[in-house]
Chains A and B, each alone.
Chain A
Amino acid sequence: MEGPLALVVGILIATGVYLMLARNLLHYLFGLILISNAANLAIFVAGRVTRAAPPLIPQGMEVAPGPIANPLPQALILTAIVIGFGLLAFALALIAQAYKVLGTLDVDTMRIAEPIPPKGEKSP
């Protein structure tokens, strides 16, 4: 199972990076979303993938009878998804506000914080 999952992670990262290279902020954000999903998937695989073996111990036994799935990475990913969701929601709201105020989503034209000095004019 690891092989195909690794492939999916690779495809997600590649697509994400392609989108993030665009000048449009919205593309950047969608690239980020894809990569964050890829990261979660990678952690999931790193915690070892097992088939149809929930991490439950039958009543009366001290340890599970056979190999079981590792619940910890799933807990980690759940936390990461919640946090990531909050951050991405914030980023989306920020981008929407920036579009409203600055009137553009093209990062190359966003130069208010770091203006390019006009040609021929020397700094004092």
Chain B
Amino acid sequence: MSWLLALPFLIPILTALATFPARGRKLLCGFISVAGCALLLAATIAILVLVETGGTRAAQMGDWAAPFGITLVADRLSAIMLLISGIVGFCVSLFSLSDIRKYRVKLGFHSFFQLLLAGVCGSFITGDLFNLYVWFEVMLIASFALLVIGGDRIQLDGGIKYVALNLVSTLLMLTSIGMTYGLTGTLNMAQLHISLAAVDNPSAVSALAVLFICAFGIKAAIFPLFFWLPASYHAPPVTVTAVFAGLLTKVGVYALIRTFTLIFPSELQFPHSILLGTALLTMLTGVLGAAAHYEFRKILAFHIISQIGFLVLGLALNSPLALAGAVFYMIHNIVAKTNLFLISGTAKRLTGSFELSEIGGLYRASPLLSFFFFIAAFSLAGFPPLSGFWAKLLLVKASLDQAAYFVVAVALITGILTLFSMSKIWAEAFLKDHPKDYCQRLQDIPRYERYERLLPVAFLALITLVLGLIPGPLIDYSLAAARELLKPGEYIEAVLGLKIQYVGNR
């Protein structure tokens, strides 16, 4: 089965190679890109089915036995993250057909987009720290290119801040990985679970934990390290922002979850207490930033930060229910966030601006688009019965179980402020009249473009609705994934072939 686990990054890389010579012809290039994403989606579904029926799967590349070769591992968390990347990739590539102009396609937009997907999927499936670094770099260089391609002034300005701060995180990550190797002599994550527990040097392990928090924290945009995100995310075309918002920061959170459940012994208290503090501050600062802004995409960008706080909170509480909450939240958030950015792009197409003070009248122009926005926005704010409600419920229940009432209070305040800034967009962009009476109707734009813009949005909104109305299966799945994360015996057995006994009442 090893070839199946390699598909999630092989398909996008091959698609990137195929789109590059075709980049002069916009239609053909877009078609190849969408077809590649469809294949990727099929492969990720196959992996999910495989993991769900047969448990954690590992593949050794080149048949080198585990701690020495390159290992690909798919457990429940990886599988669901891959699936959601496939879905986002497919929807965004469909949307890009109408949103990305010809000169950007000519500069290789689709190739970089596919490379970005390859980096994201590779990070989710690798079982080796150094490989994780390499996939992060693939993702990073593709995101650099996507961010500045086309070369608008605002793109260059935002791109410089993005590049400058992300290069620092790369260096921190490289250093922490090198130190891990120096301390344990291995970089295989399953082997590290055993080796790092045997290291008798608590101060070195603590230093390592902090280095990892900083390195992945910059990628994930947690509290004091997030300033590159609102500086750059509104600069490129909205297609690029949508895929960044959906996937990039989540890879950082995924790496944090992997590191602090699998690699570091989860009995280690202090990384979790650091993460708890930063999670609360991330939630609050993000949502306050969103409340202060009056630009569609800037509000959404600050919301990404605030939602990252919720994800890290799930990791920091470190109980099965909390981790399940984090997994559920991640899936819900990727869907809702990507959708909101895609909607903002269509809103710009119809009204001509992202500034809330300069636009309006969207509800009258297209009730359908307003309906989709309503679903995504109110799901993000945590309204029942949409998916965000269940995600927040799991996290709040987990905090109540640990008697962490302060955490509950912060989470609820964040929810209310989220609702406030979402209703600000709703009132300004959708309800009030357009100041220049310019707003186009959805029916006015060409038919193909309409489909290319609306189908992905409708599909993502449908997922949000289904997750909200029938949350049972995903909650069960998240709980199973959380159990696996906290007792990684199956993961280690799949990779190393060793059985590990866990004692205790977790």
Contacts and interface: CB of A to CB of B under 8 A. Distances in A.
Given A32-B167, A32-B171, A43-B181, A113 B161 contact: yes
B154 A91 contact: no
Contact of B163 (A35, A47, A90, A123): A90
A94 B175 contact: no
Given A46-B179, A91-B163, A97-B151, A113 B171 contact: no
Contact-size category for A: 35 or more
Contacts of B140: 87
Contact of A25 (B151, B160, B183): B160
Given A32-B167, A39-B174, A114-B231, A87 B181 contact: no
B235 interface: yes
A80 B181 contact: no
Contact of B181 (A46, A88, A94): A46
A47 B182 contact: yes
Contacts of A46: 178-179, 181-183
A12 to B, nearest CB: 12
Contacts of A28: 164
A102 interface: yes
Contact of A72 (B154, B157, B160, B181): B181
A8 interface: no
B163 to A, nearest CB: 5
A80 B167 contact: no
Interface in A53-89: 72-73, 76, 79-80, 83-84, 86-88
Interface in B151-202: 151, 153-154, 156-161, 163-164, 167-168, 170-171, 174-175, 177-179, 181-183
Interface string B236-262: 000000000000000000000000000
Contacts of B170: 84, 87
B356 interface: yes
B178 A98 contact: no
B357 interface: yes
Contact of A43 (B141, B145, B174): B174
Given A98-B156, A112-B157, A124 B294 contact: yes
A113 B158 contact: yes
Nearest to A36: B171
A87 B141 contact: yes
B159 A94 contact: yes
B205 to A, nearest CB: 14
Contacts of A47: 178, 181-182
A51 B157 CA distance: 48
Interface in A110-124: 110-114, 123-124
A interface, by DSSP: helix, strand, loop or mixed?
helix
Contacts of A102: 153, 156-157
B193 to A, nearest CB: 19
A43 B182 contact: yes
A43 B171 contact: no
B357 A39 contact: no
A113 to B, nearest CB: 4
A5 interface: no
A47 to B, nearest CB: 6
A73 to B, nearest CB: 7
With a 10 A CB-CB cut-off, give which of A25, A35, A86, A114 has the most chain B CB atoms: A114
B163 A76 contact: no
Interface string B216-243: 0000000000000011101100000000
A91 B166 CA distance: 11
B171 A101 contact: no
B137 interface: yes
B313 to A, nearest CB: 28
A86 B142 CA distance: 12
Contact of B134 (A72, A79, A110, A124): A79
A95 interface: yes
A113 B137 contact: no
Given A42-B179, A43-B175, A90 B235 contact: no
Contacts of B232: 113
Given A47-B181, A113-B234, A90 B141 contact: yes
A73 B153 contact: no
25 contacts: A36-B174, A39-B175, A42-B179, A43-B175, A45-B182, A46-B181, A46-B183, A47-B182, A48-B182, A73-B182, A76-B178, A76-B181, A79-B130, A79-B134, A84-B174, A87-B137, A90-B144, A90-B145, A94-B160, A98-B159, A112-B154, A113-B161, A113-B231, A114-B230, A124-B356
Interface of A: 25, 28, 32, 35-36, 39-40, 42-43, 45-48, 72-73, 76, 79-80, 83-84, 86-88, 90-91, 94-95, 97-98, 101-102, 107, 110-114, 123-124
Given A94-B144, A98-B160, 6 more contacts: A28-B164, A32-B168, A39-B174, A46-B178, A47-B182, A87-B144
